[in-house]
C-alpha cells in the first residue's frame, strides 16, 4: 500500500484542499510505516494572534444566537461525522496507528458527544434560589464565556477536540484548536467537516472554529492571549505544570487533563475471566497509549498464581502488527521517542527486581515504525518506574495480601485519573468507591480503567490536573455564571438585616 497516496485521497474525500498538504515546513509521519504523509505549513505567532482576534469577533456574534439554535449546528456536525465516520476513522488509524475498531470507536465518541451536546443546548439550566428578602427573586444565569483554546494530544487526536468543541459551541463560545504536531491531518479533516455543518446551518460567524498548525510556540500564543478565556489542555503533567501557572497568572480558566498512572485491584472473589479481558484491553489496547491505560495491577495472593500465568499467555500470544493491513490487536507506538522511553522504563524495572514478559521490538520491513510486544512486569514492590507514567504498553503487576495496603499503594502515585477494582464483595467495592477509597476522578467496579463513555465527566485529580470534560455538568466550565437578585418591591431591605438609612 502507498500510505501517502491513501492519506491524500482520504483527506480529499473529507474535504481538505490538496494544496494544504505539501510544500510546508512541518513534516507529518504515520507511525504505521514511519513514512512521511504530508508537509504542512505552520502559522507564525503574529498570524495566530490575528486568528484569535477573529475568533473573538465570532464569539461576540455567536453568544447572541439562542442556545437551541447553537445546538442545531452541533446536531449537523454530528450528522456530518456520521457520514465521514469510515474515512475519518481510517485517517485516525493512519495518523495514530490505532487498530480499525479503535479508530472507528474514536469517531463514534465524537458522534456521541454531539448528541449529548444537542440535548444540552436546551438544558443549560440555572437555579432559582430562595432569598431572605421579601419582594425579591434570586437566580443564576449561565452566559457564554469567550474564546476557548483547545490543546490536544496525539493519542485521541479528534475525540478530545470534539468533547471540548461540542460543549463550547452550545455554550456560545468560539474555539481555537491547536492539535498535536504528531496528528495535524485529522485536525484539518475535522475543520473541513465542521465547515460543511456550518454551511448547512447558514449564518454561522466566520472563524467560529480555527485550527492553528504549529509547534509549542503556537500553543504558547494561545495560552498567553488575553482574548482566550479558557484553555482546555490535554497532555503530559510536565506540559500542565507550564500551562496551568501561565493561565492562572492572567486569571484565565483552565481545564487540565494530564497524565494517568491508572491501577486495578484484583480481589480474592473476582471473576477472573472477566478481569483477564478487562486487564488485557486496558493495558494492551491502543498499545498502552491512552491516558486511561491500565499501568499498575495489584493482585491478591490467593488468585495471583491463577491469573498472572493466564495474563502472561495472553501477552505472549497477542498479535502486533500493521493496523491497516492486518487484524492485529496492537498497532505501533507513535514514534522512536516512545519506544526509547519504554525500553528505559523496562531497564530500570529489571534493575529493581522486575521480571519482564514481552517488551521487545517486533521487526517489520519499516525501519522507522516502532512495533513492540506489550510488556508485563512482575514487580516485588511499587518503586520507580512503577510510580511514573510511561506512555507505552507496560503493565506492572504486584502481589498483595492486605486490602488496606493495596488501597494505600493504589493511591500512592502522583496521577489520579482512572482506577478499577475486580471483586464480588460489596464491602471491597463500596470501600473502593468511598471517601477513603480510590482517589481518582474515575473509579470503576468490574470494568477496566479505559474506554469511558462520554456521558460521565472525564478527568482526574492530583497531577492529572483536576479538569473535567465531556458529560455530566462539565459544560459549566465553558460558561460564566451570574447570580442575579431582582427587587420587585417598593422597599430596599438590606441583606443580613443591615441598617443604612440616609436622610
Ligand atoms: C485519552 O486517552 O486522552 O476513556 C482519552 C477512554 C477514552 C478517552 C481517552 N474514552 O479511554
Task: Kindly report whether the global pTM for this prediction surpasses the value 0.95.
Answer: yes
| Ligand 1 atom having least distance to the Cα of 234 | 3
Distance 215 CA to ligand 1 centre (A): 23
**Residues contacting ligand 1 via CB (< 6 Å):** 109, 155-156, 160, 234, 290-292, 450-452
pLDDT of 4 over the 90 cut: yes
Residue 203 Cα to ligand 1 midpoint, Å, equals 34
| Secondary structure (H, E, C), 374-439 | CEEEECCCCCCCCCCCCCCCEEEEEEECCHHHHHHHHHCCCEECEEEEECCCHHHHHHHHCCCCCC
Which of 262, 290, 458, 471 is the best mutation target for the ligand 1 pocket, counting ligand atoms within 8 Å of the beta carbon and taking the most? Answer: 290
**Catalytic positions, please?**
257, 291
Spatial separation of the C-alpha atoms in residues 307 and 299, rounded to whole Å: 8
Question: What pLDDT, on the 0 to 100 scale, is given for residue 1?
Answer: 78
Question: What's the whole-number mean pLDDT along residues 153-173?
Answer: 98
**Tens digit of each residue's pLDDT (9 = 90 or more) over 170-218:** 999 999 999 999 999 999 999 999 999 999 999 999 999 999 999 999 9
Q: What is the whole-number distance in angstroms between the Cα of residue 493 and the centre of ligand 1?
A: 52
Q: Could you tell me which of 356, 378, 358, 191 has the C-alpha nearest to residue 301?
A: 378
Report which ligand 1 atom has the smallest distance to the Cα of 109. Answer: 10
Best probe residue, ligand 1, of 111, 151, 156 (max atoms within 8 Å of C-beta): 156
What's the pLDDT tens digit per position in 6-47?
A: 999 999 999 999 999 999 999 999 999 999 999 999 999 999
Cell numbers that stand for 266 in this block: 484484583
Please give the radius of gyration of the chain, using alpha carbons only, rounded to the nearest integer.
24
Per-residue pLDDT of 106-146, as tens digits, reads 999 999 999 999 999 999 999 999 999 999 999 999 999 99
Which class for 259: exposed (0-12), middle (13-18), buried (19 or more C-beta within 10 A)?
A: buried
Ligand 1: atom nearest CA of 454 is: 10
Amino acid at each position: 500500500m502507498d500510505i501517502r497516496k491513501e492519506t491524500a485521497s482520504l483527506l480529499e474525500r473529507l474535504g481538505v484542499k490538496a494544496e494544504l498538504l505539501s510544500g510546508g515546513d512541518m513534516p507529518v509521519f504515520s507511525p504505521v510505516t514511519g513514512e512521511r504523509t504530508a508537509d504542512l505549513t505552520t502559522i507564525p505567532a503574529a498570524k495566530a494572534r490575528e486568528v484569535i482576534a477573529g475568533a473573538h469577533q465570532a464569539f461576540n456574534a455567536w453568544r447572541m444566537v439562542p442556545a437551541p439554535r447553537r445546538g442545531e449546528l452541533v446536531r449537523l456536525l454530528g450528522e456530518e461525522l456520521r457520514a465521514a465516520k469510515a474515512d475519518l476513522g481510517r485517517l485516525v488509524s493512519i495518523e495514530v496507528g490505532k487498530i480499525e475498531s479503535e479508530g472507528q470507536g474514536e469517531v463514534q465518541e465524537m458522534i456521541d458527544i454531539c448528541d449529548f451536546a444537542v440535548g444540552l443546548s436546551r438544558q443549560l439550566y440555572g437555579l432559582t434560589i430562595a432569598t431572605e428578602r421579601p419582594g425579591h427573586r434570586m437566580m443564576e444565569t449561565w452566559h457564554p464565556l469567550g474564546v476557548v483554546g483547545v490543546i490536544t494530544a496525539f493519542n485521541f487526536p479528534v475525540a478530545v477536540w470534539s468533547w471540548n468543541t461540542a460543549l463550547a459551541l452550545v455554550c456560545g463560545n468560539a474555539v481555537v484548536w491547536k492539535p498535536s504536531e504528531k496528528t495535524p491531518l485529522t485536525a484539518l479533516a475535522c475543520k473541513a467537516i465542521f465547515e460543511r455543518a456550518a454551511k448547512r446551518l447558514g449564518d454561522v460567524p466566520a472563524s467560529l472554529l480555527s485550527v492553528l498548525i504549529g509547534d509549542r510556540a503556537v500553543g504558547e500564543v494561545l495560552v498567553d492571549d488575553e482574548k482566550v478565556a479558557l484553555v482546555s489542555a490535554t497532555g503530559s503533567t510536565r506540559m500542565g505544570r507550564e500551562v496551568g501557572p501561565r493561565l492562572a497568572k492572567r486569571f484565565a480558566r483552565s481545564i487540565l487533563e494530564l497524565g494517568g498512572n491508572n491501577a486495578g485491584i484484583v480481589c480474592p472473589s473476582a471473576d477472573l475471566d472477566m478481569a483477564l479481558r478487562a486487564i488485557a484491553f486496558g493495558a494492551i489496547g491502543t498499545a498502552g497509549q491512552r491516558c486511561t491505560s491500565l499501568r499498575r495491577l495489584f493482585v491478591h495472593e490467593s488468585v495471583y498464581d491463577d491469573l498472572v500465568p493466564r495474563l502472561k499467555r495472553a501477552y505472549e500470544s497477542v498479535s502486533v502488527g500493521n493496523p491497516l493491513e492486518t487484524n492485529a490487536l496492537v498497532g505501533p507506538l507513535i514514534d522512536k521517542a516512545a519506544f526509547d522511553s519504554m525500553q528505559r522504563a523496562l531497564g530500570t524495572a529489571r534493575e529493581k527486581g522486575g521480571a519482564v514478559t514481552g517488551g521487545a521490538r517486533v521487526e517489520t520491513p519499516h525501519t522507522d515504525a516502532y512495533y513492540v510486544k506489550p510488556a508485563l512486569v512482575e514487580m516485588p514492590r511499587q518503586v520507580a518506574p512503577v510510580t511514573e507514567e510511561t506512555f507505552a504498553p507496560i503493565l506492572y503487576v504486584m502481589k498483595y495480601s492486605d486490602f488496606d495496603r493495596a488501597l494505600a499503594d493504589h493511591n500512592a502515585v502522583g496521577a489520579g485519573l482512572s482506577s478499577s477494582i475486580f471483586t464480588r464483595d460489596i464491602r471491597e467495592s463500596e470501600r473502593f468507591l468511598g471517601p477513603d477509597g480510590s482517589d481518582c476522578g474515575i473509579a470503576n467496579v468490574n470494568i477496566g480503567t479505559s474506554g469511558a463513555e462520554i456521558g460521565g465527566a472525564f478527568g482526574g485529580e492530583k497531577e492529572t490536573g483536576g479538569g473535567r470534560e465531556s458529560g455530566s455538568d462539565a459544560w459549566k466550565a465553558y460558561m460564566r455564571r451570574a447570580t442575579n437578585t431582582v427587587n420587585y418591591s417598593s422597599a430596599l431591605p438590606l441583606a443580613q438585616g443591615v441598617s443604612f438609612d440616609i436622610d
